Structure 1
Amino acid sequence: MSQLDMTPGAQIPRTDVGNQTAVTQALSSAAYRDGDYAELGGLAGVTVKKGKFALFRPSAGEAFSRAVIDRTLAPKRNPLVPSFGTDVRMVVEHCLAAQDLRDARDRRLTTLTLVCGGLFLPGTLIWLAAFQARAYLKRTSPAREGFYGTLALLVAGGLAVLFALRPPVTGPWALYWRVMMLVPVLGWLLAKRIALRSVLDLRARWEALVTGSAVAATVPKAVPRDHLDKKAVDLKAALDRLAAEQETNIHHYAGAKGILGVGARWSEWALNEDLRPAEGQEDFRVFHINDLARKITERLGSLVGSELPNGGMPRPSIHQWVVQDIPEGADEIGRPGGSEMDGYRMRDFAVAEIANKQTFGSDARHRIAIQYVLHKGQLVTTMVVEIVVLHNNLQVRVTGHALGQIVGYFTAKPKPKEIEVRKSFKRWETQTVQLPLVDNDEVVRQAVRAPFLRIPTLLAYLGGSIGLPEPFCLRQAWTDLAWISRFKSDDAIYAATPVVNAVQAATIDFLAEHDVNVDRFTSRVGIVKSEMQGSRPFRADRYDAG
């Protein structure tokens, strides 16, 4: 019998994600949030799909978790854009963990619903009709919800009292009619205790994540118990594929959006001169573009050192990328296949071949990318190096890209539910009234959704769901501009100068080694350094030409 990988995998708490902590935990916190799922419609690119019945609506955390899990772990799905500065697997594991917590709650609520609701279905339906009316009025006409919603509950309560005192039938069925609308109320009281414990637990995890505390994403269902546990094996494989996909070296340039996942260009610096033999040489030594790319890559790796104490830069990620061109409005990306690919990565020989051939006039280009993840992942600054030789002209271009911090929705802490009301006798003054974390509507909402926990597609149809922006990148989808933070914008600009200097120095050294006259290149380097004294961001990917 073949040996099965029985490593705990996703069940082991993975809380150390290095310099990606802040954004990873902020995105993970969305899985534990409460509140109306419609508030997610305020996020860029998110579409809110309304359901048939307001009573079945999901919470924000339920809708977010379901959408992320379906988008990242589905057996057949479109490729994902890499999310730099973010541990995507950890975010998805938190979505799975939050879903497990809600499933455990729903199993208990389902038992209560079947016993206290199913056995006394006529009375339950009357109560549900009243709460459905409240939910509908709250969504369509909030101004009238207070009066008419309360009136609907009073009518249902009046019927409960009437049936308890004067049942419409006699004999053995009279007892059933007496308790028909009272037992659902007892079930509601028990359900409220279950719902409150669940909300407190989820809110504690939400607050811990946004405040920087370590919260483990425990996903027992991703740990195979034996070789016959197909669901767990498939889930663990899907998580492994997700992590591997994030390491792809195939990227996509989408017009003014820039390279997806790293953001639009904010500046560029170019070294552009003709190749001529050095003085005393009849010709220079022939070289391939990939040879120069390797030289530049080696020089970029030396930026971590400095002749001054603490002057070295953080250790960067340096990669050889293949960048493909897609329309700005494209709603999906593709990946090449065949022998050139090793999983989600193009093999080194194929990348070198694209670099040497240059593919001028085609939609696949070679790039060198040097990337810094700073401020615990809240800033991702990427420098992309392009090398082009046309005829005897060499162009080495460096472009700057920056991703700022995540939008404020994901960093908001849980707050107590409050409302401002006017005082009874001093109408010109207001006071803050504390509302219960779990009100009557929330208890009923959770209770009616619970029996359908194994049928998420039906729940989405009945209550609604959200759609994520495409092509989907967990990080770039909801990122603010880096330039709204003084320190982050400064760091993005500061990092550019040593990178550009290293690229230019490596180019000069490489050309000198190959008997190329570097005088004009050296002069051009001086001009570029002068220009960098006043570097500032601009819309490098937007052209004014009509």
Structure 2
Amino acid sequence: MSVGTEWDGPQVPVSGDGGEAATFALASAAYRDNGLEEIKKADNDWHQSTVKPGRKWATIFRPNLGEAFSRAVADRMLAPGRKPLIQSFGADPQVIVEHCLAANNIRRDRDNRLSLLMVACGLIFLPGLIGWLVVFQLRRFVARRDAKRAGWLASALLYGVGLLAALFLLKMPFHGFWAWYARAAVVAPVLGWFLARRICERTAKDLRARWDGLLSGSSVGAKVPEAVPRSPGETAAEQLRQSLARLSAEQQSNSVFYAGPKGILGMGTRWGAWQLAEDLVSADPTREIHPFRSWDVVRAIHDQLRMLERGPLNTGGFPRPSIRHWIVTPIGEKAAAVSRPEGTDVEAFQVKSHAIQDICNKQQFGSGDRHYLGVQWTLWDGQLVITMLITVTVLHETLRIEVTGHALGPVNPLFTAKPEAPTKEVTKSLKPWETRTVKLPLVPTDEVVRLAARAPLTWYPPLLNWLGGSLVLPEPFGLRHAWADQPWRHRFMADDALRAATPVLRVVHSAAMRVLEDNGVDTEKFGNRSSVLSGLVQDPTPRKADLYDA
């Protein structure tokens, strides 16, 4: 990110990057006003978020999905001294975080106005404010007790208290100054509610417009002016800028983590594996094999994979893939954190080339990191990430070339749902057998009260989280894989994942054969084994390759 005098929002992914749909779908969560419990519907089998409950008697302070999501994501990904993150393949995490910051700014402006309103109409008339808040808290409690009669009981409670308040105003038990103060304590919070409703509706329209714009492809920009320091003394802005730069650098890291049945975090579970393993025998019995290393085979495969986008027929075919060398670190299936490689062999989260070669040639058995050559496609606007990983090992006289397939599916439909205007079906008065749709206020009464009550406490988030609860993100955390579904329920996505295996496998075998022949190895057995694998790879059924039946 460059430092300038103006901030124009996040960098929109250019055509061909393939991450717009998934990125904007996840970013839209920052602007949503759904209930916080909705996030549980987006959890998958391996990564579950936790809704940390607040105090039972303070449900009026409970956050909605957008408030909790934007705060949790911004804190987790930008906090100083944070734990390492998992790369978000198929999405741009910086854009998502910037939208979370922008959503927080919009809500902060609203809360500032509501806080001033609470002081003018609430704090000065504190007894009346406390009384009305208790009424609304009881109303929320009643609404949760009985689903069938909740609406009627809650409304009856509010109307009953309103009637008592009107009688109190008419038959005032006090005289003089306290009589007028008591009347103001009853009326001022109600007047404040009407003003607060206008503020809340204006902000809600803005948030929903951004939510809809992101999912409609209108490229809504995130305004984060505090990310651009305008003077040397703005340490907070400089720290935020550095945090965003670190996030982008970590996204480009070539270090990933294998978590057992969860697969490689960020790439999805392993659905298929094909192995070519035969003895290294000299093609000429009178001569020895010319010495070569695993890296020589890997480098030849790397060069040949660059030709995947080319074919003999002009029929479309593969788009240009991303071909990278990966260092894979094993972690426990239930590990709550990861630790990235450090030392002189690592620079800006990137394992250097000479270290990659050493791992490829030497760390093939026992503990330690492993080397994989990966070819990756980001398809369906980032909703599908296909990764084929190749590893080459030599143990004694046996050369083994293994190709594994990984697939990361689309983000959960919760993130792709557009905002809908609140409505309700009611029975017609003259035709009770028919119903009609009635539009409801964008911000209902209880929501205005909730926002106004939370506003003064937003200056100290720990207290607000203690009272109302918060969202705890799944660890090890990465934005893309945490809420990804399996691609096998989508026919075309499944077809794309399965079709990629055969061309990659044959290119790998072809390149390996050429290296073996150049170094005097008898390739007859390798060729026979390759033909067998070419038949096995036609199997159209994805399997849970990481769940060993032992």
**Are 2:84 and 1:79 equivalent residues in the alignment?**
yes
Alignment of 1:228-307 (within 5 A): 228-279=233-284, 282-307=287-312
CA 1:542–1:104: 2 relative to 1, 3 Å: same
Alignment of 1:486-501 (within 5 A): 486-501=491-506
Task: Please state how far the C-alpha of 1:482 moved relative to its aligned partner.
Answer: 0.8
Counterpart Cα distance in 2 of 1:477 and 1:316: 24
SS of the aligned residue for 2:275 comes to strand
Aligned residues: 542
Identity %, equivalent residues: 47
CA 1:233–1:521: 2 relative to 1, 3 Å: same
- Tell me which amino acid in the other structure corresponds to 1:22: A
SS of the aligned residue for 2:459 comes to coil
Alignment of 1:365-380 (within 5 A): 365-380=370-385
Deviates more, 1:324-333 or 1:12-21: 12-21
Q: Which runs of 5+ in 1 are unaligned?
A: none
Alignment of 1:304-319 (within 5 A): 304-319=309-324
CA offsets 1:115-157 (integer angstroms, 9 cap, x no match): 1111111111111111111122233444443344224323432
Alignment of 1:214-233 (within 5 A): 214-233=219-238
Counterpart Cα distance in 2 of 1:381 and 1:64: 27
**Are 2:136 and 1:139 equivalent residues in the alignment?**
no
Task: Please state how far the C-alpha of 1:158 moved relative to its aligned partner.
Answer: 2.9
CA offsets 1:302-337 (integer angstroms, 9 cap, x no match): 112223224452111111111121221222211222
Task: Please state how far the C-alpha of 1:210 moved relative to its aligned partner.
Answer: 1.5
In structure 1, the residue matched to 2:11 is 14
CA offsets 1:365-399 (integer angstroms, 9 cap, x no match): 11111100011111100000011101011000100
CA 1:225–1:538: 2 relative to 1, 3 Å: same
Question: Could you tell me which of 50, 56, 68 is aligned with 1:47?
Answer: 50
Q: Which runs of 5+ in 2 are unaligned?
A: none
Alignment of 1:508-523 (within 5 A): 508-523=513-528
- Tell me which amino acid in the other structure corresponds to 1:14: Q
- Tell me which amino acid in the other structure corresponds to 2:40: G
Task: Please state how far the C-alpha of 1:429 moved relative to its aligned partner.
Answer: 4.3
In structure 2, the residue matched to 1:398 is 403
Alignment of 1:35-114 (within 5 A): 35-44=34-43, 45-52=48-55, 53-114=58-119
- Tell me which amino acid in the other structure corresponds to 1:288: R
SS of the aligned residue for 1:537 comes to coil
- Tell me which amino acid in the other structure corresponds to 1:46: S
Counterpart Cα distance in 2 of 1:368 and 1:42: 35
In structure 2, the residue matched to 1:360 is 365
SS of the aligned residue for 2:485 comes to coil
Counterpart Cα distance in 1 of 2:548 and 2:285: 44
In structure 2, the residue matched to 1:191 is 196
In structure 1, the residue matched to 2:214 is 209
TM-score, with structure 1 as normaliser: 0.95
SS of the aligned residue for 2:264 comes to coil
CA offsets 1:325-372 (integer angstroms, 9 cap, x no match): 122122221122221221312221111111110340114211111100
Counterpart Cα distance in 2 of 1:281 and 1:407: 61
Task: Please state how far the C-alpha of 1:22 moved relative to its aligned partner.
Answer: 0.6
Counterpart Cα distance in 1 of 2:472 and 2:162: 39
Cα RMSD for the two superposed structures: 1.9
Contact 2:102 2:224 in 1 (8 A): yes
CA 1:442–1:89: 2 relative to 1, 3 Å: same
Counterpart Cα distance in 2 of 1:503 and 1:287: 17
Deviates more, 1:385-394 or 1:289-298: 289-298
TM-score, with structure 2 as normaliser: 0.94
Counterpart Cα distance in 2 of 1:147 and 1:534: 59
Counterpart Cα distance in 1 of 2:451 and 2:169: 27
In structure 1, the residue matched to 2:389 is 384
Question: Could you tell me which of 150, 154, 162 is aligned with 1:149?
Answer: 154
CA 1:300–1:96: 2 relative to 1, 3 Å: same
Contact 2:10 2:95 in 1 (8 A): no
In structure 1, the residue matched to 2:352 is 347
Contact 2:384 2:408 in 1 (8 A): yes
Task: Please state how far the C-alpha of 1:12 moved relative to its aligned partner.
Answer: 3.4
Counterpart Cα distance in 2 of 1:542 and 1:533: 21
Counterpart Cα distance in 1 of 2:286 and 2:462: 73
Contact 1:126 1:156 in 2 (8 A): no
In structure 1, the residue matched to 2:535 is 530
Counterpart Cα distance in 1 of 2:59 and 2:38: 15
Counterpart Cα distance in 2 of 1:486 and 1:151: 51
SS of the aligned residue for 2:544 comes to coil
Contact 1:452 1:458 in 2 (8 A): yes
